[in-house]
């Protein structure tokens, strides 16, 4: 992992024995990313589970944002739960059901 922020012109506090805070943070992030990759390769991804009202309360969804709506009305499908993704087309965004 890159440690670009080691050269950022700011105070980099020495913790103990010339160990800098930025080094501790970078080492933590390296470990976290490796752990996350291992976990996801074994168990998969957890998608946020929301009600339709919670989905509608999202003020600024980001393109590609994925959610699992468990109470949306779907007349042709026996189960009302489904994945939705925020897609922007021609400058307009909308939630699209993933079938």
**pLDDT per residue as tens digits for the range 10-58:** 566 666 666 777 777 788 888 998 998 888 888 888 888 999 899 999 9
**Together in a domain, 65 and 80:** yes
Mean pLDDT of the chain: 79
Residues 14, 17, 20, 26, Cα dihedral to 10° = -150
Domain that residue 92 falls in? 49-98
Residues 59 and 38 in one domain: no
- Beta-bridged to residue 84, according to DSSP, are 67, 97
- 11 and 37 inside one domain: yes
**C-alpha–C-alpha distance, residues 17 and 64, integer Å:** 45
- The answer on 8 and 34 residing in a single domain is yes
Alpha helices in the chain (DSSP H): 21-43, 52-56
Give residue 74's pLDDT.
62
> Of the candidates 92, 76, 37, 74, which has an alpha carbon nearest to the alpha carbon of residue 84?
74
Q: Does 13 or 68 have the greater pLDDT score?
A: 68
Q: Per-residue pLDDT averaged across 72-82, rounded?
A: 64
Pick from 75, 70, 35: nearest CA to 55: 70
Q: What pLDDT is attached to residue 22?
A: 74
């Amino acid at each position: 992992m890159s440690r670009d922020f080691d050269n950022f012109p700011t105070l980099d506090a020495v913790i103990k024995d010339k160990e800098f805070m930025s080094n501790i943070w970078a080492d933590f992030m390296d470990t976290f990313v490796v752990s996350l990759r291992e976990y996801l390769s074994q168990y998969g991804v957890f998608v946020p589970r929301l009600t339709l009202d919670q989905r509608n309360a999202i003020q600024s969804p980001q393109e590609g944002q994925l959610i699992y709506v468990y109470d949306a009305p779907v007349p042709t499908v026996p189960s009302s739960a489904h994945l939705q993704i925020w897609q922007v087309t021609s400058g307009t965004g909308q939630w699209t059901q993933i079938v």
